[in-house]
Chain A
Amino acid sequence: NAGVTQTPKFQVLKTGQSMTLQCAQDMNHNSMYWYRQDPGMGLRLIYYSASEGTTDKGEVPNGYNVSRLNKREFSLRLESAAPSQTSVYFCASSSRGQGSNQPQHFGDGTRLSIL
Chain B
Amino acid sequence: EDQVTQSPEALRLQEGESSSLNCSYTVSGLRGLFWYRQDPGKGPEFLFTLYSAGEEKEKERLKATLTKKESFLHITAPKPEDSATYLCARGGIHDKIIFGKGTRLHILP
Question: B44 touching A97 by the CB < 8 A rule?
Answer: no
Q: Which residues of A contact B96 (CB under 8 A)?
A: 45, 48, 58
Give the CA-CA distance A60 to B40 in the complex, in Å.
24
A5–chain B nearest beta-carbon distance, Å: 11
Question: B31 touching A40 by the CB < 8 A rule?
Answer: no
Question: A106 touching B45 by the CB < 8 A rule?
Answer: yes
Question: B43 touching A103 by the CB < 8 A rule?
Answer: no
Q: Is A104 engaged at the interface, CB distance under 8 Å to the other chain?
A: yes
Within 8 A of B (CB), among A30-62: 31, 35, 40-45, 48, 50, 56, 58
Give the CA-CA distance A96 to B97 in the complex, in Å.
13
Q: Is A25 engaged at the interface, CB distance under 8 Å to the other chain?
A: no
Picked from A4, A56, A103, the residue with its CB within 8 Å of the CB of B49 is A103
A-B contacts at CB below 8 angstroms, number = 67
Question: A107 touching B91 by the CB < 8 A rule?
Answer: no
Question: B43 touching A42 by the CB < 8 A rule?
Answer: no
Q: Which residues of B contact A94 (CB under 8 A)?
A: 95
A selection of 28 A-B contacts at a CB cut-off of 8 Å is A31-B95, A41-B101, A42-B87, A42-B102, A48-B96, A56-B94, A58-B96, A90-B43, A90-B44, A94-B95, A96-B95, A97-B31, A97-B32, A99-B31, A100-B31, A100-B32, A101-B31, A101-B32, A101-B34, A101-B97, A102-B95, A103-B32, A103-B49, A106-B44, A106-B45, A108-B42, A109-B41, A109-B43
In order of increasing CB-CB distance, the 7 nearest A-B pairs are A101-B91, A106-B43, A42-B101, A101-B32, A43-B99, A103-B46, A101-B31
